Amino acid sequence: MLGPTGKEEREFQQLVVRDNNYSSLANGTDFFIIDIEYAYPKDLVAVEWRSEGPKKKYPEKYLPNLFIIEMKYGDKSLKGKSGLKDHQRQFHHLLSNEPYLEQSKQEMIHLFDQKRELGLIPYLAKSENKNAVTKFDDEIQLAFLIANHDPARELFIKEMELLESLEVNFIVSNFMGYGICHQSVYSYAQFQQRFMRQIHEV
């Protein structure tokens, strides 16, 4: 059973899905949520298919990227089991298991195609956009979406410093909304440099 924080996190996940998949603004975002709470590692799975016309028209020339997005709601969710470090460890385990990784990619291609066929992502419905996505870019990326962190606390910066690799992304809100554009995704170094006051204001 989900506790209060888990319920709040699920509510915010649903907002991310709504804004990027079927809100009135979804066609202007660059990310679409394929699945929520995927079996392993229980995160949002999203495809980055940029909103520039040629990239949506010609996916064979621009392979969409697959993102594993982990939403962390509040500071308590940043540490320990299912915290930042634990999710990065799970992600690395996923990348090291090639058979499972390829199986997961194929499942996501099938599920993405199914959602488009059923019109569950209206702006990418096959009746509107007949271009098929048959393959993702080889590189899968991990991104953290942090909601309601308290900058007065050191916990976030400490957990960031414990990450085993800096090859991780952070997603910031788009002027208080949850529509994700590629300009909202920052590498570890970019995020730390640009948002240090929001990460930890000393």
Q: What is the pLDDT of residues 112-144, one digit of tens each?
A: 999 999 999 998 888 888 888 999 999 999 999
Categorize the per-residue pLDDT at 190 as very low, low, confident or very high, splitting at 50, 70 and 90: very high
pLDDT at 112: 95
- As a whole number, mean pLDDT of residues 140-158 equals 95
**pLDDT value at residue 42:** 66
Structure-model confidence comparison of residues 169 and 94, the more confident one? 169
Predicted pLDDT at 127 = 86
Which is higher by pLDDT, 5 or 87?
87
Q: Which residue has the tokens 């393959």?
A: 135
Distance, first Cα to last Cα, the chain? 37
- Is 64 in contact with 52 (CB distance < 8 Å)? no
Q: What is the pLDDT of residue 3?
A: 62
3-state secondary structure of 65: strand
Question: d(Cα 78, Cα 74) in Å, to the nearest integer?
Answer: 7
Under a CB-based contact definition with an 8 Å cutoff, are residues 187 and 161 in contact? no
Selected residue with higher pLDDT from 71 and 3? 71
pTM of the model: 0.91
Provide mean pLDDT across the span 11-39: 90
pLDDT computed for residue 4 by the predictor? 63
The domain spans of the chain are 4-199
Neighbouring C-alpha atoms within 13 Å toward the C-beta of 120: 13
| Res 149: pLDDT | 94
Peptide bond into 4 cis (omega under 30): no
